């Protein structure tokens, strides 16, 4: 695989994400038996992509569900080999954003590697970690490339704040269907006004047998004048 090249911003890191979706746009079904959505080839693709990042960022729900796998995966040979090839230090920082750093989250982050994730909580008097606070934290660490793992709730906030730069979307050749509150799409919790819909430019398309990975870069979206 050819290394990914990312643009740089003068004042903040470049933020990118990757998602796997069914043909009908579902990135998770909240029932047993539907995960994983993608194939081993997709796993290799997104593991390589994540290996480019100085830090990985999850919001609470994604961490509660997947932190164990994420921590395991970044210690595995595949990821470690990619990091070495890319000339990166062995491990990225793993940052979890939450307003509720409770026992459930701490249990999800426990691991046998002695690996210590960072939990980022809101400033006093605020209910959320603002995108600005996240960026200030990432800047304080000097990070250039940051992988936003998700989930959809966090992606929505970063798109709204115009700081998510790039999306790698794998389409899995399957259709889940939907019932109320049983599935999620890649962005949840916000419906963008028609004149503020984030727009993207197709950068590349990669075929992985029956899956396809679309690499999209955001293009400037006009802000509604208030
Ligand atoms: N298919 C894929 O590629 C893919 C990729 C990523 C995730 N997912 C799936 O997405 C699902 C989770 O998505 P989700 O939208 O429910 O949740 P999420 O975005 O992972 O987490 C949302 C929660 O995180 C906390 N949070 C988010 N933003 C925050 C902020 N700015 N400040 C403080 N806390 C904040 C809030 O909980 P508190 O206030 O309680 O802390 C919020 O309810 C998981 O099932 C995961 O498997 C799928």
Domain residue limits at 94: 14-219
User: Does a structural domain hold residue 39?
Assistant: yes
User: Does a structural domain hold residue 1?
Assistant: no
Alpha-carbon torsion 42, 44, 50, 52, what sign? negative
User: Does a structural domain hold residue 2?
Assistant: no
The pLDDT assigned to 220 comes to 73
Task: Give the 3-state secondary structure of residue 51.
Answer: helix
Residue with tokens 């919790």: 189
- In total, how many domains does the chain have? 1
pLDDT in tens, 150-184: 999 999 999 999 999 999 999 999 999 999 999 99
Rounded to the nearest angstrom, the distance between the alpha carbon of 110 and the centre of ligand 1 is 19
Residue with tokens 């960026």: 135
User: Does a structural domain hold residue 184?
Assistant: yes
Pocket test for ligand 1, best of 45, 64, 67, 98 (most atoms within 8 A of CB): 98
pLDDT in tens, 100-150: 999 999 999 999 999 999 999 999 999 999 999 999 999 999 999 999 999
Rounded to the nearest angstrom, the distance between the alpha carbon of 85 and the centre of ligand 1 is 31
Nearest residue (by CA) to ligand 1, atom 7, is 151
Element (H, E) at 129: none
User: Does a structural domain hold residue 7?
Assistant: no
Q: Which residues pair with 170 in a beta bridge?
A: 20, 213
Rounded to the nearest angstrom, the distance between the alpha carbon of 172 and the centre of ligand 1 is 21
User: Does a structural domain hold residue 90?
Assistant: yes
Task: Give the 3-state secondary structure of residue 18.
Answer: strand
User: Does a structural domain hold residue 226?
Assistant: no
User: Does a structural domain hold residue 8?
Assistant: no
Rounded to the nearest angstrom, the distance between the alpha carbon of 41 and the centre of ligand 1 is 25
pLDDT in tens, 174-221: 999 999 999 999 999 999 999 999 999 999 999 999 999 999 999 976
pLDDT in tens, 56-104: 999 999 999 999 999 999 999 999 999 999 999 999 999 999 999 999 9
- DSSP line for 152-182: HHHHHHHHHTT---EEEEEEES------TTT
The pLDDT assigned to 1 comes to 84
Domain containing residue 205: CATH number? 3.40.430.10
Nearest residue (by CA) to ligand 1, atom 28, is 154
* Pairing assessment for the beta strands 211-219 and 199-208 based on DSSP bridges: antiparallel
**Cβ 170 under 6 angstroms from ligand 1:** no
Element (H, E) at 70: helix 60-75
Task: Give the 3-state secondary structure of residue 112.
Answer: coil
Whether this prediction's pTM lies above 0.85 is answered by yes
Spatial separation of the C-alpha atoms in residues 200 and 202, rounded to whole Å: 7
């Amino acid at each position: 695989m050819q290394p990914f090249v990312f643009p740089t911003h003068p004042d903040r890191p470049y933020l990118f994400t990757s998602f796997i979706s069914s043909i009908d746009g579902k990135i998770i079904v909240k029932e047993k038996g539907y995960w994983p959505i993608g194939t081993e080839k997709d796993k290799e693709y997104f593991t390589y992509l994540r290996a480019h990042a100085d830090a990985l960022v999850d919001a609470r729900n994604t961490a509660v569900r997947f932190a164990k796998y994420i921590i395991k995966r970044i210690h595995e040979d595949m990821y470690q080999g990619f990091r070495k090839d890319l000339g990166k230090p062995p491990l990225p920082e793993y940052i979890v954003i939450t307003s509720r750093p409770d026992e459930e989250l701490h249990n999800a982050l426990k691991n046998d590697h002695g690996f210590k994730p960072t939990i980022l909580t809101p400033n006093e008097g605020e209910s959320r970690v603002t995108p600005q606070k996240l960026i200030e934290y990432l800047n304080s660490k000097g990070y250039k490339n940051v992988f936003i793992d998700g989930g959809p709730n966090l992606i929505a906030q970063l798109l709204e704040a115009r700081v998510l730069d790039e999306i790698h979307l794998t389409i899995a050749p399957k259709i889940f269907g939907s019932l109320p509150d049983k599935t999620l799409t890649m962005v949840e919790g916000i419906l963008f006004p028609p004149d503020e819909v984030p727009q993207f430019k197709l950068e590349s398309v990669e075929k992985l047998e029956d899956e396809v990975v679309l690499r999209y870069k955001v293009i400037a979206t006009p802000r509604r004048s208030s």
